[in-house]
Amino acid sequence: MTTHERVRQQLHALEALLREHQHWRMDEPQAHLFTSTQPFCMDTMEPVEWLQWVLIPRMHALIDNAQPLPEAFAIAPYYEMALEADHPQRDILLQALQELDALFTSDKA
């Protein structure tokens, strides 16, 4: 399985996890929320919203268009800080994000 295929598989797993825990929204955020200049749109979106509306679609687009994937990729550290310690799915979300991050480092050395 190629890195692109493994990344797509992990993106699907992340989406399923968000859906399973009722973090998947059916109503798309207003366009101005996407114009943030802050990393992770932290001033306009909740962390799990950013995963749904920015990360997952952009990564699928890279894969669909056979574009190179990012070289330096690590989002789990941000989510370790962004998700409150008492967030009910914090641990399971962090695990899924760490698994995604690992796909970008496992072939390097």
Which residue segments constitute the domains of the chain, with CATH numbers given?
3-23+40-103 (1.20.1440.40)
Cα separation, 91 vs 85, whole angstroms: 9
Instruction: Please give the DSSP secondary-structure letter assigned to residue 42.
Output: T
The token duo for 86 is: 């008492």
How high is the pLDDT of residue 84? 87
How high is the pLDDT of residue 51? 95
pLDDT digits (tens, 9 = 90+) for 5-59: 999 999 999 999 999 999 999 999 999 999 999 989 999 999 999 999 999 999 9
Cα separation, 43 vs 63, whole angstroms: 28
pLDDT at 76 over 90: yes
How high is the pLDDT of residue 107? 52
pLDDT digits (tens, 9 = 90+) for 44-60: 999 999 999 999 999 99
